[in-house]
Structure 1
Amino acid sequence: MATFEPSELTEAQLVAVYRAMLQSRLMDERMVSLQRQGRVGFYGTGMGQEATCIASAFALRPTDWLFPGLRENAAMLLRGYPLVPYLAQLFGNSGDEAKGRQMPAHQFSRRVNQVSWSSCIGTQLPQAVGAAWAARRKGHDTVVLACLGDGATSTGDFHAAMNFAGVLQAPAVFLCQNNHWSISLHISQQTKSETLALKASAYGFPGVRVDGNDAEAVYAATSSAVARARAGAGPSFIEAVTYRVGPHSSSDDPTLYQDAREVEAWRAKDPLERLRARLIERAAWDLARDEALRAELLAALHAAILEAEALPPVPPESLFDDVYADEPWHLAEQRREFVRATQGTKD
C-alpha cells in the first residue's frame, strides 16, 4: 500500500466526511429493506466501501465532474444534492430528474456535476476521459473523477480510456474500488497482475494502491492526484483496496460464492468504525454525539422517504419531452394523439 502524509483535513472536515459516510450506510440499510418489500425495484449498496466513495469526492471542487460506478452515488448528497429527489429516482416518479427513464440507483444531476453510471461495466470511463479532454481544450481547470470497480479493468473500455487519457494527458483521476468481487468472480480470477495500480504504468502515468477503508488515506491519495491533474501533469490511477461485505446488488445472493469467514474478517475493518474510533481518540467526537447524529440522519431519511414515495407518477406524455430542443410539429401532433388515447380528451 502507498503511504501518504497525514491529510490536511481539519477535525471539522473529518466529521463532515464521517457524517456523509454514516448517512450512506443508514440509507443503504433502509433502501435494501424497501427493495425487499417491493417498494423499490432494484438497489446496489456501498456498505463497507463508504470511505472510498465519500473521501474521494471530498477532494473535488464543485466545478469538477464525477463519473460514478455502482457504489459512488452517495457522493451526490455530499456535494449538495437534495435527499428527496435522490430518493425519488429510486421510485421513478415525478420527483425524479430523469423522469423515470433510468433504472433505480442510477442517479445523476447537472446540479452537482455527476453523470449517471451505466449497468454496462466500464462504459463511463471513455466518457469521463472525453469530458476531461474537453475541459482541457476549453482551458478550464476542471478535473474528472472516473470511478470503476475491479471488474471494469478487464473491459475494452478500460483500455481505451486509460490509453486515451495517457496519450492526451487528460485531467482525469481513475478511482478503482477493488472490492475483490466482480459480481461472483474473485479478483484472483480477474487478473494475474500483482496489483491493479500496476496497470497504469503501461499507459504512461502513475498508479498507487491505498487502503480503501481508511478515509484519510483515500482523501490524501485523491487530493494529490486531483492537484496533479489540475496542474496539467496528466492522469493518475488509484486502486483503493476494500471489500464488498454485502451482495453485488439486490439481485444477488453472495452466500453462493463468498466465504463467510472472509466477509467477517473484512467487517472487522469497517471504515465507519475506523473513522469514528479515530475521531474519538482525537477528542473530536464522542458516543453521545454519535447517537444524536444517527437519530438526526434517520429522522431526516424517514421523512424524505415518506415525501419522495408520496409523489405522483411521471405523466405518461413526458416520453415526448427532451427529444428536441424545439418540438417539431409532427411530435406535437403525436403528443396530442397520445394524450387523447390515454386520457380520453378531445380537441
Structure 2
Amino acid sequence: MSVRTPHQEVEGLLPSAVPVRFVAEDGTDAGRQAEYSAPQDGTLVEAYRRMVLGRRFDRQATALTKQGRLAVYPSSRGQEACQIAGVLALREDDWLFPTYRDSVALVARGMDPVEVLTLLRGGWHCGYDPAATRVAPQCTPLATQTIHAVGMADAVRRKGEDGVVMAFVGDGGTSEGDFHEALNYAGVLRAPVVFFVQNNKYAISVPLAKQTAAPALAYKGIGYGVRSEQVDGNDLVAVLSVLTAAVEHARSGGGPFLVEAHTYRMDSHTNADDASRYREDEEVARWEAADPLARLETHLRGRGLLSEEDVASAREAAEEYAARLRDRMAADPEADPFELFDHVFAEPTPQLREQRALLASEMLPGED
C-alpha cells in the first residue's frame, strides 16, 4: 500500500507558480492549462452579457452616489471578471457571502438592484432576504463573513446537502485574524467552502506590500491544509475555470479551497476616497490596458462567438437596465423613524421606551 509523504501532501496544496491564465491582455489565446478546463462557449457569451450589465450598473450606482441617492458606493470597476465568474461557478442553491464591494456579483445573480443598494442607501437592513436568495448580507467589517461562511458550509454538510459556500474577501481582509481563523476552522472541518480573494492591490490606501510579505496571498492556505490557487483576475475565462474546479473540489468532499485573483480596483475605494493621493496615474493606465471586459470582448470576437449585433444588444440591454434603476431610485424611500427602536432588544428597555416617547412627542403632538 502506497503512503503519501508530508512533502507530497504539501505539493497537493500549492498554487501554480504563476497565476493561471487562458487569455492574454490583447485578447489572444494564452495557451491551455492542463489542470483546468475552459468553460463552454455559451457560458462565456453569457458571462460577457453579465459583465456589460454589471459595469453599467456600477457606473449608474456611482452616479447615484454623486446625486445623493446613495450614502456610499464602493465601485468594483475593473473587477467584473471576478464578480461574474464567482456567481457563474455556483448553483442557485449554493450560498454566497459577499463583501460591501460585491454589488455587481449580487446583480449578476439576478437579485433586484434596488434591494442590493438598500444597505448602501442607508437602510437599516440589507434590503433582501438572505434565506430566499442564499446570499448573506454584504459585509462591511473586514473578513468577519469568512467565519460565518465556514459555519454555513458545515451546517450544509451536516444537513446532508451537497451545497457549497463561497466567501468573497479582499486582499486587506486576508490580514485580519478572522480570515486565518476561518481557514483553520475550514481546514479542520474539511468544510465545503471556497475562499475567493479579490486582490485589487490596495486596502483603501494601504498597498499590498505593506500588508504582507507572502509571495502571493494564495500561499496563506497551505499552513491550514487548504488547497490553493492563484489566477489572473482580469481573465474571465481563467477565473471561471479555476473557480468551477474549486467549487467542484469542495462539493465532492475534497475540503476547502482558496483562490486568489490578481485584479485591480480602477476607481477610488469609495466616493469618500481620493485614490490619486496614494497611487500613480501610470499604474492606473497599465491596469486600464488589462481591462477584463475589453479583453473578453476581443477574445470572443476573435473566436467568432460575438458579433457587432451581439455587442450592441448587450449594451442596449444594459442601458435599459440602468434607466429602470435610475427611475426607481429617484423615488424617495418611505422611512419610518420609529423603526430605530425595533429589533434592538426582544423586549424594549425603559430607556428605549423613553426615547420612543420623546420622538413621538416631537413628531406626533398629542400622542404619548
In the alignment, the residues of structure 1 paired with residue 117 and residue 210 of structure 2 have an alpha-carbon distance, to the nearest angstrom, of: 36
State the partner residue of 2:157: 136
State the partner residue of 1:167: 188
In the alignment, the residues of structure 2 paired with residue 35 and residue 311 of structure 1 have an alpha-carbon distance, to the nearest angstrom, of: 14
Q: What letter corresponds to residue 57 of structure 1 in structure 2?
A: V
Q: What letter corresponds to residue 253 of structure 1 in structure 2?
A: D
State the partner residue of 1:96: none
- How far did 1:56 drift? 1.5
Question: In structure 2, do the counterparts of structure 1 residues 286 and 56 end up closer, same or farther at CA, with 3 Å as the change threshold?
Answer: same
Which of 104, 112, 121 is equivalent to 1:82?
112
Question: In structure 2, do the counterparts of structure 1 residues 6 and 294 end up closer, same or farther at CA, with 3 Å as the change threshold?
Answer: same
Q: What letter corresponds to residue 38 of structure 2 in structure 1?
A: S
Question: In structure 2, do the counterparts of structure 1 residues 68 and 5 end up closer, same or farther at CA, with 3 Å as the change threshold?
Answer: same
The answer to whether the Cα contact below 8 Å between 1:317 and 1:338 also exists between their aligned partners in 2 is no
Unaligned runs of 5+ in 2: 1-18, 21-32
Which of 77, 101, 107 is equivalent to 2:124?
101
State the partner residue of 1:222: 243
Between 1:307-316 and 1:229-238, the stretch displaced more is 307-316
The answer to whether the Cα contact below 8 Å between 2:36 and 2:242 also exists between their aligned partners in 1 is no
- What's the TM-score, normalizing by structure 2? 0.83
Cα deviations by residue, 1:224-269 (Å, 9 ceiling, x for unpaired): 1111111111000001011112111111111111121111111111
In the alignment, the residues of structure 2 paired with residue 245 and residue 64 of structure 1 have an alpha-carbon distance, to the nearest angstrom, of: 29
Specify the SS of the correspondent of 2:65.
helix
In the alignment, the residues of structure 1 paired with residue 276 and residue 203 of structure 2 have an alpha-carbon distance, to the nearest angstrom, of: 15
Question: How many residues of Structure 1 are paired with residues of Structure 2 in the alignment?
Answer: 335
Between 1:295-304 and 1:313-322, the stretch displaced more is 313-322
State the partner residue of 1:299: 320
Specify the SS of the correspondent of 2:169.
strand
Cα deviations by residue, 1:262-310 (Å, 9 ceiling, x for unpaired): 1111111110001111221222212333223212211221222212331
In the alignment, the residues of structure 2 paired with residue 142 and residue 290 of structure 1 have an alpha-carbon distance, to the nearest angstrom, of: 34
Identity rate, percent: 38
Between 1:136-145 and 1:31-40, the stretch displaced more is 31-40
State the partner residue of 1:7: 38
- How far did 1:206 drift? 1.0
- What's the TM-score, normalizing by structure 1? 0.88
Q: What letter corresponds to residue 165 of structure 1 in structure 2?
A: A
The answer to whether the Cα contact below 8 Å between 1:85 and 1:308 also exists between their aligned partners in 2 is no
2:220 paired with 1:199: yes
2:94 paired with 1:64: yes
Question: In structure 2, do the counterparts of structure 1 residues 280 and 182 end up closer, same or farther at CA, with 3 Å as the change threshold?
Answer: same
Specify the SS of the correspondent of 1:66.
strand
State the partner residue of 1:52: 82
State the partner residue of 1:35: 65
In the alignment, the residues of structure 2 paired with residue 175 and residue 329 of structure 1 have an alpha-carbon distance, to the nearest angstrom, of: 41
State the partner residue of 1:115: 136
Question: In structure 2, do the counterparts of structure 1 residues 246 and 125 end up closer, same or farther at CA, with 3 Å as the change threshold?
Answer: same
- How far did 1:200 drift? 0.8
In the alignment, the residues of structure 1 paired with residue 297 and residue 78 of structure 2 have an alpha-carbon distance, to the nearest angstrom, of: 14
The answer to whether the Cα contact below 8 Å between 1:66 and 1:146 also exists between their aligned partners in 2 is yes
Cα deviations by residue, 1:142-162 (Å, 9 ceiling, x for unpaired): 211011111111111111000
- How far did 1:330 drift? 9.1
In the alignment, the residues of structure 2 paired with residue 271 and residue 345 of structure 1 have an alpha-carbon distance, to the nearest angstrom, of: 60
Q: What letter corresponds to residue 24 of structure 1 in structure 2?
A: G
